[in-house]
Amino acid sequence: DVKVTQSSRYLVKRTGEKVFLECVQDMDHENMFWYRQDPGLGLRLIYFSYDVKMKEKGDIPEGYSVSREKKERFSLILESASTNQTSMYLCASSWQGGFGGYTFGSGTRLTVV
């Protein structure tokens, strides 16, 4: 069964901490994505990557960075966590010609206190 695995289901961090959210896929997909999900706003794209060591900003990149050192792993980094980054974070992957058919992880619910 193909999978996108997010390392934590729930996470509580303090304001100002550096936070790492990890995502690993086992499908050899080229494309990987990080979304943020908030009630009434749907999913908003933070960053995405079409290849190793490649990254592109999405719609809401402020306060975030990413790292993709290996094809299967895409990390989202909150450089200095703030309370307005409390949210659900979803990772997804697709093959290069996936035309929107993404495979999603189960999400990390992050609370910043």
Partner 1 sequence: AQTVTQSQPEMSVQEAETVTLSCTYDTSESDYYLFWYKQPPSRQMILVIRQEAYKQQNATENRFSVNFQKAAKSFSLKISDSQLGDAAMYFCAYWGSARQLTFGSGTQLTVLP
Selected from 19, 81, 92, 112, the binder of partner 1 by CB under 8 A is 92
Q: Is 64 in the site for partner 1 (CB under 8 A)?
A: no
Total binding residues for partner 1 by CB under 8 A? 23
DSSP state of 71: T
Q: Is 89 in the site for partner 1 (CB under 8 A)?
A: no
Q: Is 60 in the site for partner 1 (CB under 8 A)?
A: no
Q: Is 52 in the site for partner 1 (CB under 8 A)?
A: no
Count Cβ atoms below 10 Å from residue 107 Cβ, excluding itself: 17
Q: Which among 16-24, 27-35, 62-70, 74-82 is the span making contact with partner 1, rule CB under 8 A?
A: 27-35
Nearer Cβ to partner 1 (77/88): 88
CA distance 86 to 11: 10
Burial bucket for residue 29 (CB in 10 Å: 0-12, 13-18, 19+): buried
Q: Is 34 in the site for partner 1 (CB under 8 A)?
A: no
Selected from 66, 90, 110, 112, the binder of partner 1 by CB under 8 A is 90
Give Cβ neighbours of residue 41 (< 8 Å, ≥ 6 apart).
none
Count Cβ atoms below 10 Å from residue 62 Cβ, excluding itself: 6
Nearer Cβ to partner 1 (80/109): 109
DSSP state of 59: S
